[in-house]
Structure formats: C-alpha cells, structure tokens
A and B are shown apart, each in its own frame.
Chain A
Amino acid sequence: MKLTGPLTRVLSVFLADVSAWRYGYDLMKAARLPSGTLYPMLARLQEQGLVAAQWEQHSADAGGRPPRKYYQLTGEGVRVARLELAQTRTATRRTTDGTTRPVRGITP
C-alpha cells in the first residue's frame, strides 16, 4: 500500500476510534479532504478488504433523512493501518534527524 498524505489522514481518522462507523462527510471533515479524493480512496480500501461498509438502519432519530453509508476499518485494516503509519512515522523521524540523509562531500 502506497501511503500518500491524504491516505495517512484518512487512516489516522479511522484509527482515532477504531470501533466508530463513519460516514463520508464526517470523514471528509475530519481528514480535510474533498469528496473527489475521499471516495476513490475508500473504494480502493474496500477492494483491498481494509475497510468495511454498511448502510444505516432506519431509525426514528434520523428525522426523515435518507439512510447513509458508514465505513469502518476491518481487523486487517486496523493492523495494516497501524503498521503503515508507524513505518511512516519512523521514516519521517529518521529523515528529520538527518541519520539517513547523505552528507554532501562525504562518500561512504
């Protein structure tokens, strides 16, 4: 899985509460992504089995609005997301520390 900036944000939002089911606009707001970026990403994650989706059940507090589709990370999704985000954080830390950055003028 290629971890891009938007994908990192979406996974972080999901991992903030792994048990929560989130609908599209909620994710858009939390991850600060436009719909044209979010939905293709969710579709890709769903294809890979990392995200599960389900339709909202009709309830009295819905106030007559149409049912929404909710998304949640699957067990595998949680595992992969945590792993990928940890790896990204480690790589970022190394780069900012300068330990992996080549020093100009010094050949290994």
Chain B
Amino acid sequence: MTRGLCAQRIAQAVILHACRGLPDDIRDERFREWAAELPAIMCDSDIRFAILRSARALSYAAGTYRSVRYLRRAAGKPRTDGRQSGVTGDAAVGWASRSRRHPLAPPRYPDGVLPAIAAVVIWLILIVLVRAYQPQGPVIFLYISAGILVDILAVVAIVRFIRWIRRQSKHPPRS
C-alpha cells in the first residue's frame, strides 16, 4: 500500500468516526459525500508534493468533526451513540432516540476522559524517559513539546469534563 493510499484510508476512517455522531437518517449520505472528496484531494495537481496532499486529506477529514457538530445541532437530534448533544429540543423525542444506541457506537464515557488518559500516559512516559536518559541538546525541545502537549490535553480534558457535567445537570440521563 502506498503512503498516499494509506493516508486516504486513515482519512476515510476519521470521516467514518466523525459520522458516527450524526443522526441515522443523514449519516450514510454525509459519509458518502465526504469520503468521495478524498480521491479529488489525493489527485489534486495544484498540490505538488504527495505528503502535502496526504496532509490536506487528513486535515479535510479532521474538519468533518466540526461539520458533524453543526449538522447534529441543526437536525435537533441528540447523538445516536448515547451521549447527549446539549441541544434543548423535544424532551420526549430526545430521550426516545437516545435510548436507541447505534451498534457501532463507542461505550459511554464522560467527555474529557480520553484526553485525560492520554495526558496521564504521556506524562508517565515522559517521567520514565527523563529518569532514564538525561535530556541533552536538541532532545530537550522534544521533552518540552511533550510537556506542552500534556498541558494542552489536561486543559482540554478539564474543559470537556466541565461542559459534560453541565449538560448532565441540565438533562440527567434516564437509566
């Protein structure tokens, strides 16, 4: 498999993951639409280098998460994977559709758990590496970058968790 094809597959997987947050009635159509753009990006003659085309495809795929957030709000439906959308709509309809979980839906975790886990894992790896190898020369920048990444992930985790708590307090889950 070439690197370009590999990037296209990864981008397709990212779009598929993003589309899982969409209501059932528009999920397939949106996935087909967005995935169909990937060959156009990978064959874009305006971008000279293959690696830049791959980066463009991945950036395009990442952008679909934002589109999904808007489309979900516009559809006035909560996520079909069971997590709440934060949209105040018809409560009865909301609860009914929330109870139907998509078979591909990931397990229910509070928002912010994944970034928190990632931050802790990176932090632990960092501590082990720092103790094992004294950072010298340009390697120190790698350590600093990892430290900044941990900080960013921690902030993201806290913000998402607070938002999740707020949503839960507005719409407590029925279980």
Contacts and interface: CB of A to CB of B under 8 A. Distances in A.
Nearest to A53: B33
Nearest to A47: B74
Contacts of B33: 24, 68-69
Interface residues of B, number: 23
Given A25-B40, A25-B60, A34-B59, A40 B67 contact: yes
- If over half of B's interface residues share one DSSP class (helix, strand or loop), that class is named, otherwise mixed; here it is helix
Contact of B34 (A24, A34, A37): A24
A36 B66 contact: yes
A11 B62 CA distance: 24
Contacts of A37: 63, 66
B74 A39 contact: no
A85 to B, nearest CB: 23
B85 interface: no
A98 interface: no
Interface in B21-70: 32-37, 39-41, 44, 46, 59-67, 70
A68 B60 contact: no
A83 interface: no
A21 interface: no
A23 B63 CA distance: 16
A48 B32 CA distance: 23
Contacts of B39: 65-66
Interface of A: 23-26, 28-29, 34-37, 39-40, 43-44, 47, 65-69
14 contacts: A26-B40, A34-B63, A36-B64, A40-B66, A40-B71, A40-B74, A43-B71, A43-B74, A44-B70, A65-B40, A66-B32, A67-B32, A68-B40, A69-B33
4 shortest interchain CB distances as A-B pairs: A36-B66, A35-B63, A36-B63, A40-B70
Interface of B: 32-37, 39-41, 44, 46, 59-67, 70-71, 74
